[in-house]
Amino acid sequence: MINNIVMNNTTTHKSSHDTEHDILKAAEKEFLSKGFAGSRTTSIAEAAGVTHAMLHYYFRSKANLFERVLQDKLNLLREALYSSFDYSSASLEEMIRNVIESHLDFIASNPELPRFLIVEIFSDPKKSNVFLDGIKKYAPLIIQTIQKKINAEAAKGNCRNINAGMLMLDIASLNIFSYLAAPAVQAALGDLADNPVEFLEIRKKENFDTIMRKLRP
């Protein structure tokens, strides 16, 4: 009897990790759909299945919750670019392909994020500092690594010696625009844009080919 009671208590009560995860997922949806100003912690708590007091216990304020959601997105992007790839032993072509495909996969999984960053983040210096600090932690290393590879290949005559930072900006622009301007893209491409899996694979190939044409001597 006692064992049954213990088991029931274990299965009906969320762990602190589960509770935090549920709050963050609900907050992400609320922030992305309504923006920071339009979001309500009461709505987030209700969607997460917790009390408003519990949400406050975990995150203290809406600003803290917003910053955590943004930080988690940056961590996911960093993991997407780094986790399963060895930049030290990769060829330049492999590096470029991995950056393009990993970045596009991340955006395709978070299609509302580019527009959200422009509207919510870059318009507010306080919020943009959080985002920019996160970018500064990993982007320079990727750029430096690719620049070294470009320099080495250019010395052999295998590619043009171009600025890796500008190349990364080109990649980001190509990748982000397809999702930032999604309504216009869908109106222009019709059926092709209606198939997100096929569209993603085509964009990976097209963007890779575009960047490689810029690199070729």
What pLDDT does residue 15 have? 75
10/162: higher pLDDT? 162
Residue 162 has pLDDT above 70, yes or no: yes
Rounded to the nearest 10 degrees, what angle do helices 16-38 and 41-48 cross at?
150
% residues pLDDT > 70 (the chain): 92
**Nearest CA to 176 among 131, 135, 117?**
117
Structure tokens at 55: 């949400």
The alpha carbon torsion through 206, 208, 213, 215 (nearest 10 deg) reads 160
For residues 150 and 90, the answer to whether their CB atoms sit within 8 Å is no
Question: If you search the block for the tokens 């899996």, which residue do you land on?
Answer: 197
For residues 80 and 113, the answer to whether their CB atoms sit within 8 Å is no
For residues 174 and 210, the answer to whether their CB atoms sit within 8 Å is yes
Residue 52 has pLDDT above 80, yes or no: yes
Mean pLDDT of 173-201: 87
Helices and strands of the chain, counted as H and E runs:
12, 0
Lowest mean pLDDT among 5-9, 29-33, 38-42: 5-9
Count of CB atoms situated within 10 Å of the CB of 140: 11
Q: pLDDT tens, 72-116?
A: 988 888 888 876 567 778 899 999 999 999 999 999 999 988 888
Which of the four pLDDT bands, split at 50, 70 and 90, describes residue 14? low
Would the CA dihedral through 136, 207, 161, 145 be positive or negative?
Answer: positive
Mean pLDDT taken over the chain: 87
Q: pLDDT tens, 120-133?
A: 877 788 778 878 88
For residues 167 and 139, the answer to whether their CB atoms sit within 8 Å is no
What pLDDT does residue 108 have? 93
Residue 6 has pLDDT above 80, yes or no: no
% residues pLDDT > 90 (the chain): 56
What pLDDT does residue 42 have? 97
For residues 117 and 125, the answer to whether their CB atoms sit within 8 Å is no
Mean pLDDT of 19-46: 95
